[in-house]
Chains A and B, each alone.
Chain A
Amino acid sequence: MNSASQMDVSLKPDWALFIQTHQRDVWRYLRALGCSPALADDLTQETFLRVLQRPFEDIHHRATAAYLRKVAYSRFITECRRSARTPEIARSDAIDRCWQQWVGDDSSDELIEHLRGCLEKLTDRTRRALQLRYEKQASRKAIGQALKMSEHGAKNLLQRAKKKLRECIERRARRAERPAAVRSPHPGKES
């Protein structure tokens, strides 16, 4: 029996649910690796096609998410080679590790929510700088002019803001993942 005949995706509604559950994370992961939105669409599709063509057991969310990410990563590297781009393996690996550390068992939606919360905590000026940079794609010089500061000052402001956001996200992620207290059989002897 070949791989295609081993499943009937059109009559299996749980595959639709499966894709819906994971596609946002895969897409965002590919974007983080450096894909444009259009390429992320294509590679997300390829990733799921690859996975659906093989026998698959959905053990639990984390394992499945990791598996999909590994396949997506492989698709991304293949795509880089196909388009004669040299993939920066070390950087991609670092992004993968960062993703694993930040997102972990959660969905990236949750992290985006954390990010929104963290943005609220920044000063108006800092938020404005970020908005100019990531909404309007403004250059540092333009940001400096808008905020009445030098280009160098704008660069520092953006860097400090990103650092604060990183720390805030990590803090919130840690707080969110802290499990409910499980009673230790030996109080006080927990390592």
Chain B
Amino acid sequence: MSPDETTRSAAADQVLEVWLEEVFQGVEPPDLTPRILAASSEVAGRDESSSSDGPAPEPASHVLVSPRPRRTVSRSRPALGLWGAVVAVSLAAALAVLLWPRDPKAARHAEYGRRSAKRPSPGETTPGSSPQDSARANPPVRHRSALPSEPALPTLGASSSDKPPHAQPQQPMLQQSVPAPAVSVPSVPALPAEAVLATMERLLAQRWQVASLKPAPAAEDSVWCRRAFLRILGRIPTIDELNDFLADQSPSRRNRLVDRLLDDQAYADERAQYWATFWANVLVGRTGGTKQGSGDRDALLGYLRRAVRDNRPFDRIVYELMSAEGTSDRGAPSAAQFWLIHYTPDAIRITDWATRAFWGRSIGCMRCHDQINGPMRQDDFWSLNLVLRTADVRRGKSPRVVVRSQSGLPEVFFERPDGRLAMAVPRLPDGSAAPERLTRDLAALRRMVARQFAESPYVAEALVNRLWAHFLGFGFTRPVDDMLPPREISHPELLRFLASQVRAHDYDWQELARWIVLSEPFGRSSRVTPDNESDVPETGVPPYFTRYYARPLAPEAVYQSLMLVAHPSASRQEQVAARKQWLRHWTQSLETDDGGEHSLFRQGVQKSWQLMNDPLMQRATNSREKGFLQDVAASPLPPEQKIAHLFLAALARQPTAKERKVALALLEQHEDAPAEALEDIWWALLNSNEFLSDH
């Protein structure tokens, strides 16, 4: 028996022995109520008389503070003293006689049932309660959702139709703290894409007018096409795809291309692969789940691929990830991997990542202190953290998520900045206290928490902000996953409008992607003009979206684009395996508790140098290897067209006169070995900033 087990066994024996003494000797715990009440009255009387002599003493530092001390109820100050003590003792004695139960347990539950029934119902506020308390009593209204219904669990509140229109706030959801979305979210009708685009345009134009800005000219079709491919499929278009698009002269050619990229079955695999990687990076970072012993990134990717292919509503995805659904077998697609990858016994990591990924609220700092200049309290973090401590992980060949083995939620204490210790109170994501029944049934609690996570109005806002930043370079907040007030939101009306439409369209995030790709800013040139030169979010000011913000490609997009020209015939499995290997070079895990990582794929000498010498780059620029360059070199095209072909493939544009001249001169110099000259041109193009940027 280990020392730990010995201690545990001795402790259990000690508890048991005390109980055995009680059973055999018939010694029951005494009723100390009158004694305690009398002593309490005495202390109160003493304190009151001493309070006139000076300030009240500070509480001792080792004494625990009660949960949420700010919610104090104001109490009157009656005259105490001997008379008070006498009244207290007689009252308490009378109460003790009346209330002392024959069956203590039954009486206690009956009385507490009555007491809790007296608590204000949702929507009702008690006199003197703070607005925040009132907000907690009014959980957000449930919207139409694809989530599974669970009649046994409490619902979040009345439907929006139950509320009078004048009760709808003017600016819902943007000014709330976490985790209590205090106001109801108005439900709006789902608008057709044209109406959504028109409203987006109007709201953006209003901001431009106020700031005296004019948008950049429209981007050329070829440039726009490259962007659309890069942002929807994560790679540049092939020459055929580009030419097909340019050959289409209809006014709706852009709509048609977006429809093809988002809906066509021919792109289903690519689309699923790209967006699964995108969401996996959001959920667990680039290194999450790549180590032995933690969750399995590939299994998470498998789940996400399916979700993308089915165009699963985003709130449904959030529910599945947060409820840790599905098998945990290694390799089998499963949403449970999100929990497995972030699992720590104290659930701090998943609290942090889940709120950032799904709510766009970064609350990690509130582990140690209240939010600076904001409404969120340290208690809010720990209350949410507590209800996320419902799962354990059983280690082994295939780690799996299991319901926590302890009975009920654990007790969680945290230290306030002043050194006092406080106890976390379990609160559901909507801010309401977790029902006691759920704190004992952890599987049901996890489902309830997942459900409320998914139904939070923050989900739509965070989704809009994240996809907007993905497509347009900057989100409405910076960073994109920190929308906690008082963080400034550059376009609150637009964010609110799009979030309401996302909800109205049942969290169809691919529809949201369609709106953004067809929006004004996505179709503008990336050039800075005299009319929009003050729109420079790169310097830290809020964006106005008067132009498309050029930015470096993500490593995944660079890899897919290089593969397209280096090894187009590679199977998907080959590509996935090689990509995993390739991406590993560019991201390092910082091995911190919160799963931090460092990207080496930043603009700079190191990145350029590594890319120039990268084996994939070597293969892409080798005319002897089977691939795009070999095809061009071997084709009977005249040199000028070959050069144009290379430019079109890499940069989606024709070469300028100067570029053409230089390239032709190079070909003339290597008349005896034209393939080598083409290799040099191709290498220069693939290593250019233009190729490595989305512009």
Listed in ascending order, the chain A residues whose CB lies under 8 Å from chain B are 1-11, 13-17, 19-21, 23-24, 27-28, 31-32, 34, 37, 40-41, 44-45, 48-63, 66-67, 70-71, 74, 78, 90-91, 94-95, 97-102, 104-112, 115-116, 119, 130-131, 133-135, 162, 165-166, 169, 173-174, 177, 179, 182-186, 189-191
Given A61-B112, A109-B105, A177-B407, residue A19 in contact with residue B32 (CB < 8 A) = yes
CB-CB contacts below 8 Å: B10-28 with A? 10-25, 27-28
A61's contact among B51, B148, B436, by CB below 8 Å, is which? Answer: B436
Residues of A within 8 A of B100 (CB): 20
Residues of A within 8 A of B13 (CB): 162, 166
Residues of A within 8 A of B27 (CB): 37
A95's contact among B14, B51, B407, by CB below 8 Å, is which? Answer: B14
Whether B553 sits at the interface, judged by CB under 8 Å, is: no
Residues of A within 8 A of B76 (CB): 8
Contacts beyond the supplied A19-B36, A100-B406, A166-B13: 8 A-B pairs with Cβ under 8 Å: A8-B78, A10-B80, A19-B32, A52-B36, A53-B40, A101-B406, A107-B108, A185-B147
Residues of A within 8 A of B43 (CB): 4, 49, 53
Contact between B78 and A28, CB atoms less than 8 A apart = no
Whether B182 sits at the interface, judged by CB under 8 Å, is: no
Given A61-B112, A95-B15, A191-B336, residue A70 in contact with residue B36 (CB < 8 A) = no
Contact between B12 and A166, CB atoms less than 8 A apart = yes
User: Which of B84-92, B538-546, B587-595 interfaces with chain A?
Assistant: B84-92
Contact between B87 and A10, CB atoms less than 8 A apart = yes
Contact between A10 and B91, CB atoms less than 8 A apart = yes
A6's contact among B30, B72, B400, B437, by CB below 8 Å, is which? Answer: B72
Residue pairs across A and B with Cβ atoms less than 8 A apart, 16 shown, are: A2-B48, A2-B55, A3-B47, A5-B51, A7-B44, A10-B85, A28-B18, A61-B112, A66-B411, A74-B64, A94-B8, A107-B104, A108-B19, A130-B24, A131-B24, A166-B13
Whether B569 sits at the interface, judged by CB under 8 Å, is: no
Residues of A within 8 A of B55 (CB): 2
Given A49-B40, A56-B66, residue A24 in contact with residue B104 (CB < 8 A) = yes
Given A10-B85, A54-B59, A184-B447, residue A105 in contact with residue B66 (CB < 8 A) = no
Contact between B40 and A70, CB atoms less than 8 A apart = no
Please give the distance in Å from A72's CB to the nearest CB on chain B: 11
Residues of A within 8 A of B105 (CB): 106-107, 109-110
Whether B489 sits at the interface, judged by CB under 8 Å, is: no
Residues of A within 8 A of B32 (CB): 19, 23, 27, 41, 44-45, 48
Contact between A54 and B65, CB atoms less than 8 A apart = yes
Whether B95 sits at the interface, judged by CB under 8 Å, is: yes
Residues of B within 8 A of A14 (CB): 115
Interface pairs A-B: 9 shortest CB-CB: A4-B47, A2-B56, A185-B148, A10-B88, A94-B11, A135-B24, A55-B72, A27-B29, A104-B407
Whether B324 sits at the interface, judged by CB under 8 Å, is: yes
Residues of B within 8 A of A16 (CB): 33, 37, 91-92, 95-96, 99
Whether B632 sits at the interface, judged by CB under 8 Å, is: no
Interface size on B, residues (CB 8 A): 109
Interface centre among B13, B44, B55, B441 (most CB of A within 10 A): B44
Residues of B within 8 A of A50 (CB): 63
Q: Complex Cα distance A52/B39, Å?
A: 11
Q: Complex Cα distance A110/B109, Å?
A: 13
Contact between B10 and A91, CB atoms less than 8 A apart = yes
A98's contact among B11, B111, B434, by CB below 8 Å, is which? Answer: B11
Residues of A within 8 A of B95 (CB): 13, 16-17
Contact between B111 and A191, CB atoms less than 8 A apart = no
Contact between A165 and B16, CB atoms less than 8 A apart = yes
Contact between A28 and B29, CB atoms less than 8 A apart = yes
Residues of A within 8 A of B92 (CB): 10, 16
Contact between B11 and A135, CB atoms less than 8 A apart = no
Whether B144 sits at the interface, judged by CB under 8 Å, is: no
Interface centre among B25, B32, B151 (most CB of A within 10 A): B32
Q: Per DSSP, are chain A's interface residues mostly helix, strand or loop, or mixed?
A: helix
Whether B139 sits at the interface, judged by CB under 8 Å, is: no
Interface centre among A16, A169, A184 (most CB of B within 10 A): A16
Please give the distance in Å from A173's CB to the nearest CB on chain B: 8
Given A17-B95, A49-B36, residue A190 in contact with residue B72 (CB < 8 A) = no
Contact between B15 and A182, CB atoms less than 8 A apart = no
Please give the distance in Å from A110's CB to the nearest CB on chain B: 6
Residues of A within 8 A of B406 (CB): 100-101
Residues of B within 8 A of A70 (CB): 64, 411, 413, 423
Q: Complex Cα distance A51/B434, Å?
A: 22
Please give the distance in Å from A104's CB to the nearest CB on chain B: 4
Contact between A95 and B11, CB atoms less than 8 A apart = yes
CB-CB contacts below 8 Å: B136-169 with A? 147-153
Contact between A59 and B425, CB atoms less than 8 A apart = yes
Interface 1/0s, chain B 376-413, versus A by CB < 8 A?
00000000000000010000000011110011110101
Q: Complex Cα distance A21/B66, Å?
A: 18
Please give the distance in Å from A63's CB to the nearest CB on chain B: 6
Whether B35 sits at the interface, judged by CB under 8 Å, is: yes
Whether B426 sits at the interface, judged by CB under 8 Å, is: yes
Q: Complex Cα distance A2/B437, Å?
A: 36
Residues of B within 8 A of A51 (CB): 66
Given A91-B7, A91-B11, residue A162 in contact with residue B436 (CB < 8 A) = no
Contact between B33 and A19, CB atoms less than 8 A apart = yes
Residues of B within 8 A of A32 (CB): 14-15, 18
In the complex, the chain B residue whose C-beta lies closest to that of A51 is B66
Contact between A67 and B407, CB atoms less than 8 A apart = no
Contact between A98 and B78, CB atoms less than 8 A apart = no
Contact between A112 and B423, CB atoms less than 8 A apart = no
Contact between B440 and A179, CB atoms less than 8 A apart = yes
Interface centre among B95, B324, B402, B407 (most CB of A within 10 A): B407
Residues of B within 8 A of A182 (CB): 150, 152-153, 441, 443-444
Q: Complex Cα distance A182/B447, Å?
A: 11
Residues of B within 8 A of A102 (CB): 15
Residues of B within 8 A of A11 (CB): 78, 87-88, 91
Interface centre among B76, B95, B147, B153 (most CB of A within 10 A): B95
Q: Complex Cα distance A71/B77, Å?
A: 26
In the complex, the chain A residue whose C-beta lies closest to that of B446 is A191
Given A3-B59, A119-B23, residue A45 in contact with residue B36 (CB < 8 A) = yes
B20's contact among A37, A45, A115, by CB below 8 Å, is which? Answer: A115
